[in-house]
Amino acid sequence: MAINYIYPDYEIARNQDRCINCRVCERQCSNGAHEYIEDLNKMVSYDEKCVNCHRCVALCPTRALKIVKSGHTFKENANWPGKIINEIYKQAESGGVLLSSMGNPESFPVYFDKMLINASQVTNPSIDPLREPMETKVFLGPKPQKIERDEKGRIKKVLPPFLTLSMPVMFSAMSYGSISYNAHESLARAAEEVGIYYNTGEGGLHEDFYKYGKNTIVQVASGRFGVHPDYLAAAAAIEIKMGQGAKPGIGGHLPGTKVGPDVSRTRMIPEGSDAISPAPHHDIYSIEDLRQLVYSLKEATNYQKPVIVKIAAVHNVAAIASGIARSGADIIAIDGFRGGTGAAPTRIRDNVGIPIELALACVDKRLRDEGIRDNVSIVVGGGIRSSADVVKAIALGADCVYVATAALMALGCHLCRSCHTGKCNWGIATQVPELAKRLNPNIGYKRLVNLMNAWKHEIEEMMGGMGINSIETLKGNRLMLRGVGLNEKELEILGIKHAGE
């Protein structure tokens, strides 16, 4: 169209005094936002191509670059902020659904930031985790209801299958296809080293990664990509994906351009074909149907592996979770509305679902009230940003958390939210070989291990402060939390007291 309605969101600020024309910015930008002009002997930038991913900023050897918010503005209007006006312009031009990536960026309340953690003073001793043993190990799966003994009085050891984690954090589902081979390798190797699990997502398991099987959760989603007996047999656990926090109620679409030879073989679909995951599982329309799939998968793996059912946090999440707990699933994973994605319709991402803190609190309470809490473990994801969030989630009743956005950030993600373009400059959300090689898994996995170790130390510090030496003692211990600035209803749902009470 002749008129360009959109002014760039960001401007590339180049300090010409520091720029040495090394051209690293030009070589590293997959969007072509920088160019060297020979006759001027000068670098120039094109703001409209910039996605604000900071690749050039991070690699510039002289710190000559920074990205600044564009000062360009519309006439102020509280009802029509610039973002909404621009979206209208975009849709008027394209006629299409707006696409976005990563988690909901809008200013909804973050309940984790409105809860504070307790600490011991005088009457109960705090514990120094550097001097005394501290247990962060968790087990996921149904807990035995009673101890059974044989006729000689010995304990019968018939435990249902469960997962053992060195700390209550796992890497949540990101498919091969949505993220690169190198990103998957980094996650798999880090999970193995830390003693936790990573999740393949719905894109199958690359043949090179079967060796990390004992730290792998494989996913069975509505598209059933890459699901075959060896895939199920390779894993430590199987996850049925019913929903995703970033886009509850809708499926997925991996464009054919990302389905190269490797992705095609792993997903078991033709090269170059779009990988479309339907919104529902076409064989699941009730808890009874879900039960059939849970037991089909258990049957297929000889009842050796726990089955996880993952749902998005939506309005009736407690009732749904109650159904899942009765379906034979061993673990329920709940994904909050802040959860990330490689691509989602903007309106869905920004307007559908509920906060994970509230979903977790109401699911935990519902399952306790119904006396079925021990039938399942609860894993929550979609909004966990730090070890403090982990501690708060455990205190609210989770057994473990899922992190993905934080893990990708450890690998270099700068949350530019352009995954859906497939041109990730950090080599994460791309299948372009020249871009994917920018993520060296030898570096990536170490950064993930560092992040997990750092969080583990912090979790131990916070537990020690509360006088708690085992994560199991913290689980569901809501007296360790107090709310600040929350109303009666919010406190009631979270099941916590207000600070000062």
Give me the residues that bind other proteins (CB under 8 A), please.
17-20, 22-24, 27-28, 58-59, 61-64, 433-434, 437-438, 440, 442-443
| Residues 318, 311: Cα–Cα separation, whole Å | 11
- Supply the DSSP symbol for 419: G
Q: How far is the CB of 239 from other proteins (least distance, A)?
A: 32
**Both tokens assigned to 387:** 């070890």
Nearer to other proteins, 16 or 487 (CB): 16
Nearer to other proteins, 66 or 291 (CB): 66
Radius of gyration of the chain (CA): 24
> What does the CA dihedral 479, 329, 359, 104 come to, rounded to 10 degrees?
130
Nearer to other proteins, 16 or 304 (CB): 16
Nearer to other proteins, 109 or 433 (CB): 433
Nearer to other proteins, 27 or 228 (CB): 27
Taking the CB of residue 308, how many other CB atoms lie within 10 A of it? 28
| Residues 334, 315: Cα–Cα separation, whole Å | 12
Nearer to other proteins, 41 or 304 (CB): 41
Return the SS3 of 462. Answer: helix
| Residues 235, 213: Cα–Cα separation, whole Å | 5
Q: Which residue has the tokens 């006629």?
A: 95
Nearer to other proteins, 137 or 437 (CB): 437
By the 10 Å C-beta count (0-12 exposed, 13-18 middle, 19+ buried), 148 is classed as: exposed
> Which residues lie closer than 8 Å to 423 by C-beta, 6 or more apart?
30, 31, 430, 432, 435
The angle at the Cα of 37, spanning 33 to 39, to the nearest 5 degrees, equals: 170
| Residues 326, 95: Cα–Cα separation, whole Å | 44
Nearer to other proteins, 150 or 434 (CB): 434
> Which residues lie closer than 8 Å to 79 by C-beta, 6 or more apart?
none
